[in-house]
Every structure is written in structure tokens, then in C-alpha cells.
Structure 1
Amino acid sequence: MADLFQVTARLRALQRGQAVPIVSQRQVVIQPDARIITLLAMAGEDTSVHAAAIGRFGDAPQIGIVADPRRRDDQYGLLRWMLPMFETCYAECRAAGTFPQLWVSSAGALGHLDTLADRLRFTDEPDIQRLGELWTYAGERSPIDGQQALISASGALRMHFATGQQEAEDEHLGSLLTWIEPTPGRDIFAAVATAEEQPMGVKTDPRFDRRWLQPAIEDFHAAQEQSERSFHHARITQMLEGVLRPIHAATQRAYALLDDPRWRPNPALDALADQEAREFERFMAARDEGHHLPYRDKPKAGAIKIVARERAASNLDAGTLRHDRAARERGVGAGKVLRAAVLKVIERRIRPKLFEYTVELTTAQTGLHLREGDILFALDGPTISLRIDAVQRRGATTWIRATVDKGKRTVKSIPENAILDLGPEAPNWNGLGFELQQMSIRLMNPPWTHGNAMPAAAPAARPMPADLLVAVEGLT
């Protein structure tokens, strides 16, 4: 159903010749002091920085360009030029108790920054290592659901708008912005084709490289006099600025579109911002204590990171279903959220002053993911949790019986035919520490599958059926 929603939105955008909003609430945290970073890499040199533009939203960027990033001294000079900007940004965020947010143009630019962070951490220059460590915070956070440290402008816009082109084409920030803000009276596809002529990633156009950039770099190396070399360096700077500035401006425009007051507040983002601030402080405290950042995690560290990512995904899902209306409706359509009407509430006395409550519900939803024993929580209002006891299909509707675990007093006052939205438990970001502690204990005692000793034989609790196939078929 979520795919059908996207298809419908894209068809509407295609019909109108303009992108359509798919949400009314903001989907990303907008940090007022976020840094917009635009990097260009030379073709074939993915772990280099040929040109860089860095700045706050609304400010003119500071631009640094080297003639040839393959010259180590020049490359390191450019990286050292960038280091104080990030040191200042990170120090300001720590003092304010918040976190740094970096904006890049696309997923390709995001991956480039992450790759650079890995490479720079293992150079032999302490200040270059420091820049790699600072970038590692954003790079390590980028694959985690709900992270707000490293934002791709194209990815953030896609969370708010649907265009009339293929999803992969939305990665080009220029074409995406053209769909969102088309030129009145101009054919949208002609405008998009023009926008796609301008690079929006981390690489320049190969035709531009062959015709202009490569000869200029060759002339730079062939120059004998310093004045002649400076002239060719200025030529290269002018060429790359013509590529760099439009990408930076497009990223600024994306930030401005998402900072617009048209987007309603999203309470789910408050928890994400708080969690990001805690993660940032933990990361920086580890750097202050001198802990080393390895290139590859050991098994225990890797397992703990997997647990953290799984917890982040479940918390994000639970939080958005509670506070994001569009996510709630998609959850209803996909069967992740049960939207049901209350048929009746049955009270049963177990013993003096102790009662059990059973709720009967009905819903017309299709594709529900419900099983006996599942525990669902009310997504609105007071805390109510229900344990599913029975699920039956009755014609065009589904009948459900559930026992109330929490919120018995609240359930008593629910009127008949009241509509309840039920889904996963509320997010618990502080519970991550307990899960990590449990994982650490488990890893201290590896299972028999990871050792040489075989487990002791245990007698079967039940007799083996005479016909195993018949027994299995009897379960369905």
C-alpha cells in the first residue's frame, strides 16, 4: 500500500507537471547552525578533495581549491584549511548541548564524505587524522535510521515531495528542485533536461574534464615560472568554482525549502534531536579520552552496533507512527497499525477487587499482520496495551478479541464504536543501554555453535508423531 501511495503521488505530479507534497509535517530536524559542505573529487581519485565550499545557511561559502589533489602537500593544505571550521562547529555544539549537522547535496556526496573520513583517520599527520575523526561522527551516524547528523539534501526533499520522474532520477538535486519549483510556462521535461546538464554530485562532467580541466592541469604542471603556475592555478580555480557554486546554492535552496513554516511541527523529531545530542557527546567524550577509532570493528563492537541500529529502527518506527500523520496512514494501509472499532468491553471478576477486561474489536483492514499473543499499544491518549487472543475473518471484516494488559480503568470508559489506533510500544531511547549490557553479557558466553564442544543430549519433551507430514499439515 505504501508503494501504491508513492505511485499515486508520482502520477499526480506527472499530471500537474510539478512535484506534490506527500506530508504536512517536517520529516528532518533543521539545525539553525547547520553547515553546508560541498566537495568535489577528481575523476579516479575518490579519496581526495579537489575543491570545497563550506558555510552556514544564508552565508556566502568559504571556498578552497587546489590545482591538483594528487600533490600531497597541496591536498593536506586544503584539509588543514577546513579543520578549524569543523573544530569551531563541534565546540559550539558541545557547549550548547546539541549536535553538529552537515548537509550535502546527494547520497553520492554523503558516501564520499564517509569514505574520506575512513581514509584520513589513518594518515601520518595528526591534524589530518583529527579532521577524519570529526567527519567520522557524521559518517558513522549516516546509516542509522532517524539520524540527524549527516543529511542528504536530495534524500530530505524526497521525504517531503513526490516528482513525476523515476526515484533514482530524484538523486540529481538540480532536477529534483526543478520539479519542486518549475519555471511557469515551460515544459517540465525540457527544464529537467537542462538542469541535468549541471553536475550535482562530487564529480565533474567527463566532457568538461577532457576539454577544459585536464589540459589546464597539464599546463599547470608544465609551467616553469611561479607566475605562470599561479596563472594556471587561477584558471583551474575559476573552472571548478563554476561547478562548485551551483551545487552549494542548490543545497542551500533545499535547506530553505525544508525550513519553511509551511511544514507543521513533528514531535517525533524532538526525541531524535535529543538522541543525536547524546550520541554526539558520547562520541566526543571518547575522543577526549583517547579511544582509538578502528578501521574495522571487532566482533563484539560490531554486534553492539547492530543492536543499536536495530533499536534505532524500532524506535523511529514507533515514534513516527505516534506523531507523524502521514506515517500513521501508511501504517494503516500496510497493516502495521490496527485501526479498529470497539464492539464491546467485557468485565470478568477473577477474585475480590481484581477484574479482567476483554475487548472485542472489528476492522475492515486487509493485509493485517496479527497473530495470537501479539501485544499492541494505543497510539493516542493514555497508555493502553492489549494482548491479542483471537483473530477471525468474518466476511469483509476481521473480528479480534484481546485482553487488556495496561489501562484497565481507561478501557472501562471507552464507548462502543470508538475507533482505536493500535501499534508498537512507544519508543524507549534510554533503554538502549540495557540492551547493550545484555548483549555484552551474551557475548561473554558464546553458544555451542561457535565452539568445539557439543551440547549434551536432551530427551524430547513430546513423543515423535507417527506421520510427521500429517502432523505438520494439521497445524494449518
Structure 2
Amino acid sequence: MADLVDVVARLRALQRGQAVPIVSQRQLVIQPHARILTLLAMAGEDTSVHAAALGGFGHAPEINVVADPRRRDDQYALLRWLLPFFEEYYAECRAGGTFPQIWVSSAGALGHLDTLADRLRFTDEDDIKRLGTLWTYAGERSPVAGQQALIAATTALRAHYATGQQEGEDEHLGSLLTWIEPPAGRDIFAAIATAEGQPMAVKTDPRFDRTTLQPAIEDYNRARSAGEPESILAFHHARIQQMVESVIRPIYAATQRAISLLTAARWQPNPTLDALADQEAREFERFMAARDAGFLLPYRDRPKAAAMKIVARERAESNTEAGLLRHDHAAREKGVVNGSVLRAQVADIREQKIRPRLFEYDFVLSSHQDSLHLRTGDELWTLDGPKISLRIDAVERRGPFTWVTGRVLQGKNAVKRMTLGGILDFGPDAPNWQGIGNELRQMSVRLTNESWTHGDTTPTATPVNGPVPADLLAAVESLT
């Protein structure tokens, strides 16, 4: 059902010929000191950097271009040029008790940076390894729910706007910005077709490569092989740089424009982001402290480390969702539509005396929702004050209403003062970012004895003592 909300928003955008806002609150932390990193890779060389543009929000980029990134020395020279910028930036963030934030144009650019980080960590040059290590912080954080370290401009804009095109087409930053700010008096689809002619990820246009860039690189390599003087090589290099800058500068400018749109005053503050920023700062300090202590980053995690990361990611996802349901209006309403939030009216409050001065209270709630995800035994919490927790004892559908009965576990004093007819929103418990330590310790205990599924030996076969059913399928179906 939540997907239906997105479909309706896209249909409205298509009808208007302009993207429509789908939230009123900002959906991510935007660091004022964030760095915009735009990289271009040579066609067929996914782990190369042909050109790099780096700068802060509101600042012009510093650009470095190599004539042919297939030459290792030239490639490493560009990477060494980038290293001091990130060393200084990370040091400033760490000294300020905050975290670095890197913006790229799209999900494709994000994946390219993550791949580069893995590749560079295992080179034979210490300074190149260091750059790969620093980039790994952002790359490892990118798949974690609620992370604020590595941001794709397209992903950030899609969290705030719905366009009239398919979701995959929103990954082109130029077309996405055109939907948000369409040119006046021009057909929206003609404007999008023009915008899509400009590359917005990490690769240049194949026609541009074939007719313009490739011949220029061949001229440079021929001059270098022939031993031409430095002035000739410099001419060919400047020619290539001019060509590549014509591609990388619009991508950098589009990323700047995306940040500008998201820092506009129209977006209301979102209290959830404060907790996410604090968590990101703790993760950054933990990462840097481990590097200072000499711990190396492996290419592949061992089973125990992988299990720990899965637990951490699951915890981050649940915490992020719980925080958004409490403080983000759009997330709350989507939760009501898809059934992850129970919005119900208090129909009855039943008081039961257990012993002197000890009472139990049962809530009887009615809801119009028809897609609730509730089971007996689930524990729900009020998403607004007062803080009340409820254990579901019964769920029954009667005509257009869903009736829910539950035992009040916490907040009994608030229940006693409550009047019938009030509307309450129930959902998961409040986020607890500090509780991850307990979950990791529990997982460590479980992993003390390695399961046979992760070992080299298989358990011995256990004979079946009972008779084998004549019809195995019928026997299985009778269990349900």
C-alpha cells in the first residue's frame, strides 16, 4: 500500500509536468562542511580515475585530469593529489567531534567510489592505501540504514520529490533536476531529453569517447612514445583536460544544485536527524580509532565479523525506522497506510484489580485500517506522548473495523487519566542506538561454538526411528 502513495505522487507529477514534494521535513543531515567528489573513469576501466573534481558546498571545484589513467604513475599522481584533501578534512571532523560527509552525483558514482576504496587498499603504495582506507569509511557506511557519510544526490532528492518518470530514470541527476525545476514555456519531456544528453555518473558518452576523447588520447600516447618534447606533451594533455572538464564540471555543478535545493528553508527540521548525526559521529570515531590502533581492513570478512555486521545493520534499520515513525510526518502516514503503524480509537479501558493497590488495564481499540500487521503477543508503543506500551492479546475483524485488545504493560498511570474516544498511534519502541553493544555480545556468545554449517565437518547421519509414511506429501500437509 505504501507503494500506492508513491504511484499517486508520480501520477500527480506527470499531470503537472513538474516534480512534487512528497515530504515536508528534511530527510537527511546536510553537513555545512560536506565535500563534493566527482570522479570520471575511462570507458572499460572501472577502477580508474580519469578526472577528479573536489570542493565544498558553495565553492568552485579543484580539478585534476590525467591524460591516460592506464599509466600507473599518472593514475597514482592524481590519487596522491587527492589524499591531502581527505586527510585534512577527516582530521578537522575528528577534532570537531563530528563526521565527514561526501556527496556524489548518483548511485553509480557511489558504487564506483566504494569499488575504488576496496581496490586501493591492496596496492603496494602506502599513501594510495591510506586514501583507500579513508574512502572505505564512507563506502562501508553507505549500505547501512540511516547513514549520513556517503550521499548520492539522486537518492537524496528522491527522498524529497516524486517525478513523473520511472524510478530508474531518476538516477540521472540532470533529468531529476529538470523535473524539479522545469524550464518555463518548454515541454517537460523535450527538456528531459536534452538533459539526458549530458553524462551525470562516472562514464563519458560513448560517442564522445569514440569521436573526440579516444583520438586525443591516441595522439598523446603517440607523442609520448616518439619522445616528443614536454611542450608537445603538455599541449596534448591540456587538450584532453579541456575535453574532460567539459564533462566533469556540469556533474559537479548539478551536485551543488541538489544540495542547494535540499538546504532551502522550505524543509522543516526533523528531530530524527539529530540521533542519526550523533550515531554517525560515534561510528566515525570508532573507525578512525581502529585505524590508529593498527587494525587492518580485510578484503573479505570472516564469518564472525560478517555476522556482527549483519546484526549491526539490522539494528540500524530498526532504529532508523522507529525514529522516523516518531518524528517524520511522511513516514508516519506511510506506516499507517502499509499497516506498520496502528492508528486506533480508544473504545474501552478495562480495569482489573489483582490485589490491593495493584491493577491491570486492558485497552480495547478500534481501527479503520485493513492492512494491519499485527499478531498476538506483539508489543507496541505509543509514538507520541504519553509513553504507553501494549501487548496484543486479540485481533478481530468486524465489518469495516479492526478491533484490537491488549494488556497495558507500561504507562498505567497515564491510562487511568485517559478518556474514551482518543486517537493513538502505536508502533515499535523508541530507537536505542546504545543497545547494539548488548546484541553484539549475545551474538559473540552464540558464535563461540561454530555451527556445522560454517565448518569443515558435517554431522553424522541420524537414523530415523519411526516408520516412514507411505504418502510423505499427505503427511506434511496434515501438519498444517
Matching residue within 340, 347, 369 for 1:343: 347
Give the number of equivalent residue pairs: 467
2:444 match: 440
Of the structure 1 ranges 26-35 and 443-452, higher mean CA displacement relative to structure 2 is found in: 443-452
CA distance in 2, matches of 1:317, 1:343: 28
Secondary structure of 1:281's aligned partner: helix
1:454 offset after TM fit, Å?
6.0
Matching residue within 300, 304, 309 for 1:305: 309
1:276-295 equivalences in 2 (<5 Å): 276-295=280-299
Do the aligned partners of residues 311 and 470 (structure 1) sit closer, same or farther apart at CA in structure 2, a change above 3 Å counting? closer
1:396-475 equivalences in 2 (<5 Å): 396-447=400-451, 452-453=458-459, 472=479
1:133 match: 133
Deviations 1:398-451 (A, max 9, x none): 111100000000111111010010011111100011111111111112346556
* Letter paired with 2:275: A
Secondary structure of 1:444's aligned partner: coil
CA distance in 2, matches of 1:196, 1:266: 33
Q: Output the TM-score relative to the length of structure 2.
A: 0.95
Structure 1 contact 364–397 (Cα < 8 Å) conserved: yes
Do the aligned partners of residues 72 and 416 (structure 1) sit closer, same or farther apart at CA in structure 2, a change above 3 Å counting? same
1:199 match: 199
1:463 match: none
Q: Output the TM-score relative to the length of structure 1.
A: 0.96
1:469 offset after TM fit, Å?
7.1
2:119 match: 119
Deviations 1:161-189 (A, max 9, x none): 00011110000000000000011111000
1:382 offset after TM fit, Å?
2.5
CA distance in 2, matches of 1:456, 1:436: 33
CA distance in 2, matches of 1:18, 1:364: 33
Deviations 1:134-170 (A, max 9, x none): 0000000001111000000000000000001111000
Identity over aligned pairs, percent: 71
Matching residue within 246, 258, 262 for 1:242: 246
1:456 offset after TM fit, Å?
9.7
1:464 match: none
Q: Does 1:372 align with 2:376?
A: yes
C-alpha RMSD over aligned residues = 1.7
1:79-228 equivalences in 2 (<5 Å): 79-223=79-223, 224-228=228-232
1:453 offset after TM fit, Å?
4.8
1:395 offset after TM fit, Å?
1.0
Deviations 1:92-113 (A, max 9, x none): 0000000000000000000000
Structure 1 contact 448–454 (Cα < 8 Å) conserved: no
Moved over 2 A (4+): 446-457, 467-473
1:468 offset after TM fit, Å?
6.1
CA distance in 1, matches of 2:201, 2:475: 59
CA distance in 1, matches of 2:141, 2:427: 27
CA distance in 2, matches of 1:81, 1:400: 63
Do the aligned partners of residues 201 and 350 (structure 1) sit closer, same or farther apart at CA in structure 2, a change above 3 Å counting? same
Secondary structure of 2:426's aligned partner: strand
Do the aligned partners of residues 270 and 13 (structure 1) sit closer, same or farther apart at CA in structure 2, a change above 3 Å counting? same
Gaps of 5+ in 1: 461-466
CA distance in 2, matches of 1:449, 1:249: 51
* Letter paired with 1:113: L
Structure 1 contact 448–455 (Cα < 8 Å) conserved: no
Matching residue within 356, 362, 367 for 1:363: 367
1:472 offset after TM fit, Å?
4.2
2:470 match: none
CA distance in 2, matches of 1:120, 1:449: 33
Gaps of 5+ in 2: 467-473
1:344 offset after TM fit, Å?
1.1
CA distance in 1, matches of 2:88, 2:121: 19
1:24 match: 24
Structure 1 contact 36–57 (Cα < 8 Å) conserved: yes
Structure 1 contact 364–398 (Cα < 8 Å) conserved: yes
* Letter paired with 1:212: T
2:76 match: 76
Structure 1 contact 361–401 (Cα < 8 Å) conserved: yes
CA distance in 1, matches of 2:380, 2:478: 31
Of the structure 1 ranges 245-254 and 392-401, higher mean CA displacement relative to structure 2 is found in: 392-401
Deviations 1:187-243 (A, max 9, x none): 000000000000000000000001010000010011122211110000000000000
1:53 match: 53
1:367 offset after TM fit, Å?
1.0
CA distance in 2, matches of 1:372, 1:254: 45
* Letter paired with 2:325: L
* Letter paired with 1:334: N
Q: Does 1:6 align with 2:41?
A: no
2:469 match: none
CA distance in 2, matches of 1:8, 1:307: 35
CA distance in 1, matches of 2:371, 2:23: 24
